[in-house]
A = this chain, B = another copy of it.
């Protein structure tokens, strides 16, 4: 088989470990056996925009020790983009790939990025352009249908759990109600991870609201008042994606209506939802001290606290994509992360058709949501604990 060149890029929201996937894929492609079939390794800057703009980094020239440091650096080292390619875009991509003699294409990202890679793969087939195309999973939202959990989630969940641990201690000290808004447009996994913060009796979060259950302002006020009566204080985890009974996003009331290329409403980067809930609670109760924080982009970018298993899996998923691409069984693929049904936590990396990961999202399953609709179940905690790792201990007086 003739040697072909490789392009790899990153897309969508950054994470703490997406660079570990980049390192895993590139170092796997540089293995001696792989190098017999992979020639140049080009990193396109800012996803497919880097292909249009011929903006590449020669990744054969980056030393392995630098790649290990890049793997530990949050956010997308190649830069990112939110762009959905159309048929015309794809033709421009193949023109550029022909010029560069590219036969291997790897795209690291979430479901929208998987969809972008799927479109490229399908258009390549239509155009008769010979391309092996792999999506490498990444999303802090944990909502890819192909993965037991996604690279990026464990580290973001670790941030959220640590943040709630600290914030709950803060609330213990000064009392009142604290509302924290957590990322996750459609899936509540990251908000659910706040429950991992609990360690001692009475620890918060005391209420957890996910997008998977309708949110009502009246119910919220009643729930908080009940906790205040029981605990004398209340810490609340709220997903930025909470919806009313009609399925409409609460955040829609405040967002400027900004949408990305995939049609998603911009939710993060504003404190409006938390401020609204705090004001509503103050207006409809006699609780005096109510505070709201929105964790924002720190959830996906905070350095130095990545989950060890998440980092290792992100690296392995990148390497698995290259190995499966070379194996050739699936030419347009994605890497599924499958949890082995054994007692001690371990996962397998399997190739699946790329369309399986594209576009559609996964929600928090019913078995993970408590009956009362505002908490998680022990099954969720058992699911999430190995992904997040050991957390700092809180010693109370």
A291, B256: Cα distance in complex, Å: 12
Which residues of B are found within 8 Å of A291, using beta-carbon distances? 268-270, 296-297
B298 near A269: Cβ-Cβ < 8 Å = no
| Interface residue? A370 (CB, 8 A) | no
| Interface residue? A272 (CB, 8 A) | yes
- Which residues of A in the span 259-317 have a Cβ within 8 Å of any Cβ on B? 268-272, 274-275, 278-279, 282, 290-298, 300-305
Interface string of A139-182 (1 = CB under 8 A from B): 00000000000000000000000110111011011100010000
Give min CB distance, A256 to chain B, whole Å. 8
| Interface residue? A191 (CB, 8 A) | no
Which residues of B are found within 8 Å of A33, using beta-carbon distances? none
A271-B268 CB under 8 A given contacts A62-B397, A80-B173, A396-B77: no
A269-B292 CB under 8 A given contacts A73-B169, A303-B166: yes
Which residues of B are found within 8 Å of A178, using beta-carbon distances? 269, 297
The one of B78, B172, B292, B304 in contact with A271, judged by C-beta atoms closer than 8 angstroms, is B292
B272 near A166: Cβ-Cβ < 8 Å = no
Among A64-72, A343-351, A372-380, the stretch in contact with B: A64-72
- Which residues of A in the span 351-397 have a Cβ within 8 Å of any Cβ on B? 391-397
Which residues of B are found within 8 Å of A290, using beta-carbon distances? 269
A291, B13: Cα distance in complex, Å: 13
| Interface residue? A75 (CB, 8 A) | yes
Which residues of B are found within 8 Å of A14, using beta-carbon distances? 169-170, 173-174
Give min CB distance, A201 to chain B, whole Å. 15
A80 near B174: Cβ-Cβ < 8 Å = yes
Which residues of B are found within 8 Å of A269, using beta-carbon distances? 178, 278, 290-293
| Interface residue? A188 (CB, 8 A) | no
B162 near A70: Cβ-Cβ < 8 Å = no
Which residues of B are found within 8 Å of A300, using beta-carbon distances? 170
Query: Counting chain B CB atoms within 10 Å of each CB, which of A62, A170, A282 scores highest?
Result: A170
Q: How many copies are assembled?
A: 2
Closest B residue to A165 by CB, please name it.
B303
B167 near A297: Cβ-Cβ < 8 Å = yes
A392-B304 CB under 8 A given contacts A274-B271, A278-B269, A291-B269: yes
A393, B275: Cα distance in complex, Å: 34
Which residues of B are found within 8 Å of A274, using beta-carbon distances? 270-271
A272 near B270: Cβ-Cβ < 8 Å = no
B75 near A172: Cβ-Cβ < 8 Å = yes
Query: Counting chain B CB atoms within 10 Å of each CB, which of A81, A269, A274, A391 scores highest?
Result: A269
Which residues of B are found within 8 Å of A393, using beta-carbon distances? 69, 72-73
Which residues of B are found within 8 Å of A78, using beta-carbon distances? 397
Which residues of B are found within 8 Å of A296, using beta-carbon distances? 291, 293-294
Give min CB distance, A318 to chain B, whole Å. 15
| Interface residue? A34 (CB, 8 A) | no
A274, B274: Cα distance in complex, Å: 13
| Interface residue? A79 (CB, 8 A) | yes
Query: Counting chain B CB atoms within 10 Å of each CB, which of A82, A162, A166, A394 scores highest?
Result: A166
Q: List 25 A-B contacts (CB under 8 A).
A: A43-B397, A66-B395, A69-B393, A70-B395, A72-B392, A73-B393, A73-B396, A79-B173, A79-B174, A82-B174, A166-B301, A167-B298, A170-B300, A269-B291, A270-B278, A270-B291, A272-B275, A275-B275, A293-B296, A293-B297, A293-B298, A294-B294, A303-B394, A304-B391, A304-B392
Please name the 3 residue pairs, one residue from A and one from B, whose CB atoms are nearest each other, closest first: A271-B271, A269-B291, A293-B296
Known: A166-B302, A293-B296. 7 other contacts (CB 8 A): A69-B393, A74-B169, A162-B304, A170-B300, A178-B297, A294-B296, A304-B392
